[in-house]
């Protein structure tokens, strides 16, 4: 991930400037979110409705849960492109269990365990065997979803227990869904872990300079392994929510989500080269993406056209500041 192409690139000296830039990045993003909100409420009369807005949160809550863990992983200098396939695998496992009469508790456990196991598999390949995470997770991306295809073919699992529907369809209070609450709780947890604990500091250290980190007594491999586990676990959680919401499992479930999760993380100001980024940024990015998708959906824009926006946003958020920089210097 971190390939310095010029000898002047010294990432561990980015201190004060970068901090300032990051601060303004989140403020900028918040401004964008508010603008999108206002534009949407003018564009469609159905936008400003508590229930519609509540529906809109489902566009991003599941992806954002994965994005929190992915943010930590990317800050540490690794990446996991297999998350969407972990969802497929975990969902298939839950579906298979539901067919033989597993209850809700068992289903949740199975989802979490499969997520953890898939994360551990990635983690072992990357940290124990020392393989590059991009290739490993491109491989496991086909492997995990491939297993779902072997099990399901072109079929589908249905028939989940009725109380299982709570995770994806239940409401805790008024318009606030269980998923939204989970998203909020996880946001706080990840904020504390990344910004208020030693463990969080070590993630930044590793991302900026893994060699220096290991000389400072940080167990680099172990921290990265934990982050892969966390990412797998969050994909398992997302699989539970998504399966519960859809009420069925196909091998194509969550197809292409890895792209949206990575976009969310990068849009949130996390450097794809590792070493910088914040959880509040990712939270705002989740809202921005959710609002854009929802607003375009209200205007009857088809899903594949929305993906153009997402792709353009991914490139744009990195390209525009650099273009601006080039223009200012010349």
Partner 1 sequence: MIAFLKSREAILAGAMLVLLALISSRFPGFVAPDNLARVFTDTSPLLLLALGQTVVILTRCIDLSVAANLALTGMVCAMLNAAMPGVPVIVILAIAVGLGAIMGAFNGLLVWKLAIPPIVVTLGTMTIYRGIIFLISNGEWVNAHEMSKAFTGFPRTVFLGLPVMAWIAIAIASGFFLLIARTPLGRSFYAVGGNPHAAVYAGIDVGKTQFWAFVISGALAGLTGYLWVARYAVAYVDIAAGFELEVVAACVIGGISIAGGAGTILGTILGALFLGIVKNALPVVDISPFWQMAISGAAIITAVAFNARSAKAKGRIILRRAQAHGAQA
Chain residues in the site for partner 1 (CB under 8 A): 1, 3-7, 79, 125, 129-132, 134-136, 138-147, 149-150, 153-154, 210-211, 213-215, 217-222, 256, 259, 262-263, 266, 272-273, 302, 304-305, 307-308, 310-312, 314-315, 318-319, 322-323
Minimum Å gap between C-beta 328 and partner 1 is: 14
Structure tokens at 270: 């996390």
- Nearest CA to 137 among 48, 227, 22? 227
**Which is it for the CA torsion 217, 221, 222, 225, positive or negative?**
positive
| Between 9 and 195, CB nearer to partner 1 | 9
How far apart, in whole angstroms, are the C-alpha atoms of residue 205 and residue 76? 8
| Between 140 and 208, CB nearer to partner 1 | 140
How far apart, in whole angstroms, are the C-alpha atoms of residue 203 and residue 274? 9
Transcribe 232-257 into DSSP letters: HHHHHHHHHHHHHHHS-B-TTTTTTH
| Between 83 and 210, CB nearer to partner 1 | 210
Strand (E) positions, 93-221?
171-173, 176-177
**Cα→Cα distances 280→64, 65, 67, 74, 136, Å:** 12, 13, 12, 15, 29
Minimum Å gap between C-beta 236 and partner 1 is: 19
- Nearest CA to 73 among 161, 139, 137, 4? 137
299-307 long-range Cβ contacts below 8 angstroms, 24+ apart? 299/43, 299/44, 307/256
CA angle 29-82-75, nearest 5°?
45
How far apart, in whole angstroms, are the C-alpha atoms of residue 256 and residue 134? 16
| Between 22 and 240, CB nearer to partner 1 | 22
| Between 187 and 213, CB nearer to partner 1 | 213
Minimum Å gap between C-beta 68 and partner 1 is: 19
| Between 100 and 129, CB nearer to partner 1 | 129
Minimum Å gap between C-beta 152 and partner 1 is: 8
How far apart, in whole angstroms, are the C-alpha atoms of residue 12 and residue 32? 30
| Between 101 and 217, CB nearer to partner 1 | 217
Minimum Å gap between C-beta 162 and partner 1 is: 30
Q: Are strands 171-173 and 176-177 parallel, antiparallel or unpaired?
A: antiparallel
Minimum Å gap between C-beta 54 and partner 1 is: 27
Minimum Å gap between C-beta 305 and partner 1 is: 6
| Between 29 and 182, CB nearer to partner 1 | 29
Minimum Å gap between C-beta 67 and partner 1 is: 15
């Amino acid at each position: 991930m971190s390939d310095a192409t010029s000898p002047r690139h010294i990432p561990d000296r980015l201190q004060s400037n970068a901090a300032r830039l990051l601060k303004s990045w989140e403020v900028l993003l918040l401004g964008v979110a508010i603008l999108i909100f206002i534009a949407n409420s003018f564009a469609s009369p159905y936008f400003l409705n508590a229930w519609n807005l509540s529906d809109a949160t489902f566009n991003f809550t599941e992806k954002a849960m994965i994005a929190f863990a992915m943010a930590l992983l990317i800050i540490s200098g690794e990446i996991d492109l297999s998350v969407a396939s972990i969802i497929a695998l975990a969902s298939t496992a839950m579906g298979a269990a539901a067919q033989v009469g597993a209850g809700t508790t068992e289903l949740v456990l199975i989802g979490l365990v499969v997520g953890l196991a898939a994360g551990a598999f990635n983690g072992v390949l990357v940290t124990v065997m020392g393989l590059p995470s991009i290739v490993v997770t491109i491989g496991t991306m086909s492997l995990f979803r491939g297993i779902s295809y072997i099990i399901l073919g072109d079929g589908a699992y249905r028939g989940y227990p009725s109380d299982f529907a709570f995770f994806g369809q239940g409401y805790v209070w008024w318009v606030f869904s269980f998923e939204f609450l989970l998203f909020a709780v996880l946001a706080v947890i990840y904020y504390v872990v990344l910004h208020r604990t030693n463990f969080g500091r070590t993630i930044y250290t590793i991302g900026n300079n893994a060699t220096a980190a290991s000389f400072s007594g940080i167990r680099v491999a172990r921290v990265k392994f934990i982050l892969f586990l966390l990412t797998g676990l969050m994909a398992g959680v997302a699989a539970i929510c998504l399966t519960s919401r859809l009420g069925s499992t196909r091998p194509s479930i969550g197809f292409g989500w890895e792209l949206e999760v990575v976009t969310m993380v990068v849009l949130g100001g996390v450097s794809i080269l590792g070493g910088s980024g914040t959880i509040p940024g990712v939270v705002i990015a989740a809202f921005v993406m959710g609002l854009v998708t929802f607003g375009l959906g209200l205007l009857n824009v088809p899903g594949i056209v929305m993906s153009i926006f997402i792709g353009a946003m991914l490139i744009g958020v990195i390209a525009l500041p650099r273009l601006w920089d080039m223009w200012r210097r010349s």
